[in-house]
Amino acid sequence: MNHQRRDTLKAGGGLGVLGLLVAAGLVRPEMAEAAWNKTAFEAKTLDAAFAGIGAAKPAESADVVITAPDIAENGAVVPVGVVSNLPKTEYIAIMIEKNPNMLAASFSLPEGTMADVQTRVKMGQTSDVYAVVKADGKFYMSKKEIKVTLGGCGG
Amino acid sequence: MANPMRIRAAVKEGVTEVRVLMSHVMETGQRKDSSGALIPAHFITELNAKHNDKVVLNAEFGPSVSTNPYLAFKFNGGAKGDKLAVTWVDNKGDTRTDEVQIA
């Protein structure tokens, strides 16, 4: 019994290493996909994330509205919606300040698409959530604190 | 191979509302498995939605997006029976496209 379990564990571990290798091998095609904003998604500070999407100092605006619960019971699934009432909104980004990777998602809105998106994000702990919006060439943001009672990252 | 997405698209008073539920592990690369080895990151990086052949949304996701990501958005126009296609690409190069007719 015990022996068998060890084998299973070993096999599991081996699989993990294999997966890592596969992932390492695939780093290249990922890098080649220049479209994905690697700098912004890997930013470790809020300022770096802002800089990564080209928004140096977004102005706080009441026209950017975050729809999210005040308290999220399950950090693995936190519904977050962003509505921008600013004319010519062309870009929306959602950032979670205390996550290892701050930038959660970004949306480019061609003309005709409304500045109204909803998604679900993971949150490791209670944190401010930022919505950054680009409207008519300028960046605006708003933030909202979401309290998390059960973390969604790692666990 | 990835499972199909569930897409709902409905037009109401000239505005089409689209809701997409993707099936994806969205592994962050921060978690460890039972033997302590890091589980490699595996998540959707890019997504786009097309109404007929016109792009109506481009999105980029990071690992902070929930497992089985949900996305809802709205655009002007669209008519019953029009095609709406959603495509995603993940960081391992997997891709999936699903198409529905607007209801």
Q: What is the pLDDT of residues A104-154, one digit of tens each?
A: 999 999 999 999 999 999 998 899 999 999 999 899 999 999 999 865 555
* Domain ranges (residues) in chain A: 2-31, 37-148
User: A122, A89, A137, A24: which is closest to B69 by C-alpha?
Assistant: A122
Q: Does A38 touch chain B (CB under 8 A)?
A: no
3-state helix, strand, coil in chain B (%, to 5): 0, 55, 45
Of residues A18 and A8, the one with the higher pLDDT is A8
3-state helix, strand, coil in chain A (%, to 5): 25, 35, 35
User: A2, A99, A90, A91: which is closest to A41 by C-alpha?
Assistant: A99
Q: In this complex, do B69 and A119 lie within 8 Å of one another by their Cβ atoms?
A: yes
Q: Please provide the DSSP assignment of A42-78 as one string.
A: T--SHHHHHHHTT-SSPEE-TTEEEE--SEES-TT-E
For chain B, domains (ranges, CATH) are 6-27+40-101 (2.60.40.10)
CB neighbourhood size of A69 (10 A) = 13
Residue A18's pLDDT is: 44
Cα distance between residue A152 and residue B96, in whole Å = 26
Helix or strand holding residue A19 (H, E) = helix A2-25
In the block, residue with structure tokens 């299973």: A8
* Chain A residues within 8 A of B35 when measuring between CB atoms: 9, 12-13, 16
Q: In this complex, do A77 and B66 lie within 8 Å of one another by their Cβ atoms?
A: yes
* Chain B residues within 8 A of A67 when measuring between CB atoms: none
Of residues A87 and A43, the one with the higher pLDDT is A87
**Touching A: B residues 51-80, CB under 8 Å:** 54-67, 69-77
Sign of the alpha-carbon dihedral angle for A104, A27, A108, A60: positive
**Is there a contact between A64 and A134 (Cβ–Cβ < 8 Å)?**
no
**Is there a contact between B10 and B81 (Cβ–Cβ < 8 Å)?**
no
Which residue of chain A has the CA closest to B19?
A: A118
Sign of the alpha-carbon dihedral angle for A116, A120, A121, A123: positive
Q: In this complex, do B45 and A36 lie within 8 Å of one another by their Cβ atoms?
A: yes
Q: What is the pLDDT of residues A12-47, one digit of tens each?
A: 554 444 444 444 444 334 344 457 888 888 888 888
- Among the partner-chain residues B55, B64, B91, the one whose CB lies closest to the CB of A104 is B64
Size of interface A-B (CB pairs under 8 A): 141
The CATH H-level (homologous superfamily) assignment of domain A37-148 is SoxY domain (2.60.40.2470)
Q: What 3-state DSSP class applies to A136?
A: coil
CB neighbourhood size of B55 (10 A) = 12
